[in-house]
A and B are shown apart, each in its own frame.
Chain A
Amino acid sequence: MKAYDITFNRRYLFKISFVFFLMLYSILKAQRTLTVAGGNWPVPMPSVTEAGSNYSGTYESIDGQVLLTASVPALLGSGKVSVHYEPNPTWNPNLTLSVKRTGDGTTLCVLCTITGGTTYQAVTLTDLELFRITAVLALGSYSSIPIKLQLTGVSVTIPAATYNGKLVFTIGPT
Chain B
Amino acid sequence: MNYYKLVFLICFTISSHLFSQLTGNSTLSVNLPVVTLMDIEPTGAISMNFTAPTEAGMAIVAPAINTTKWINYTSAIASGGATRKITASINPVISGVDIKIQAASASGAGGGTLGTSSSEVILNATSQTIISGIGGAFTGNGVNNGHRLTISLSANTYANLSRTNTAVVIVYTITE
Contact = CB atoms under 8 A, between A and B. Distances in A.
A53 B73 CA distance: 8
A76 interface: no
A126 B86 CA distance: 43
Interface string B1-43: 1000100010011001101111111111111111101110100
B12 A48 contact: no
A157 B73 contact: no
Contacts of B102: none
A33 B30 contact: no
B79 A45 contact: no
A123 to B, nearest CB: 11
A138 interface: no
B152 interface: no
A154 B30 contact: yes
Contacts of B22: 32-34, 170-172
B133 interface: no
Nearest to A157: B112
Nearest to B72: A52
Interface in A22-67: 22, 25-26, 29-36, 38-43, 45, 47-54, 65-66
Interface stretch (B59-67, B139-147, B162-170): B139-147
A54 B31 CA distance: 15
Contacts of A172: 22
A29 B72 contact: no
B28 A41 contact: yes
A167 B26 contact: yes
Contacts of A34: 21-24
B39 to A, nearest CB: 4
B111 interface: yes
Contact of A51 (B23, B32, B73): B73
Interface string A155-174: 11111111111111111100
Contacts of B139: 51-52
Contacts of A36: 24-26
Nearest to B142: A52
Contacts of B121: none
Interface of B: 1, 5, 9, 12-13, 16-17, 19-35, 37-39, 41, 72-81, 110-113, 135-142, 145-146
Interface of A: 14, 18, 22, 25-26, 29-36, 38-43, 45, 47-54, 65-66, 68, 88, 95, 97, 149, 151, 154-172
Given A34-B21, A39-B26, 8 more contacts: A29-B17, A34-B24, A47-B33, A53-B141, A151-B30, A156-B76, A160-B76, A169-B24
